[in-house]
Amino acid sequence: MTENRWALYSDYFKLNDDLIQHLDSVLNSLNDPFIESRYTGFLAVSSVTVLELGLKAIFMDFSKTQHPVFGTFCEAHFEKINGRIRYDQIIGEYLPRFGAHYLSTFKIEVDQLEAQVLAIQKTSVKEAYANLITWRNDFAHDGNVPANPTYAEVKAAYASGKEIMKCLHAAMV
């Protein structure tokens, strides 16, 4: 699996990036907090969906390069995760099955990213990613419109999620 594989995962993200571009233009001319809150919830759902697709593709690609049977097994296993892509699930459930090396590499990648972003932007990538998944779950499962996050915060959390997926990709190369 090479760096060129990242372009394939980016195709998933492009779906959401295009949506954001559209929503940016809509929300710039909209002055309706009610509608904006709905778009914010919708963006949270869409964001976690494409991040899940990216995570699945990274694991499936890696497993297929190791052995076709392993690839088939992982494809069946990851088909059932349905939004369960929290950081703790990645390091507690998914990566340990691939081995300590990949788990350790991922943690190092994310910790370096976290330190960089904290130093420059004063925000936590891990916390933003966790919040995005919480907002998605609240909106998708409970029908609760995200009350606290703004549209900009959901966008920023999605960007953090993409960075975490880049770390996962780097760990699995």
What tens digit of pLDDT does each residue of 79-121 get? 888 889 999 999 999 999 999 999 999 999 999 999 999 999 9
pLDDT per residue as tens digits for the range 162-172: 999 999 999 99
119 is in which domain, residue-wise?
5-172
Structural domain count of the chain: 1
Q: What is the mean pLDDT of residues 63-76?
A: 90
Q: Cα–Cα distance between 71 and 53 in angstroms, integer? A: 16
- What is the pLDDT of the chain when averaged over all its residues? 90
DSSP conformation letters of the chain: --TTHHHHHHHHHHHHHHHHHHHHHHHHS---HHHHHHHHHHHHHHHHHHHHHHHHHHHHHHHHHH-HHHHHHHHHHHTT-TT---HHHIIIIIGGGT-HHHHHHHHHHHHHHHHHHHHHHS--HHHHHHHHHHHHHHHHHH----SS--HHHHHHHHHHHHHHHHHHHHHH-
Digit-coded pLDDT (tens) for 44-68:
999 999 999 999 999 999 999 899 8
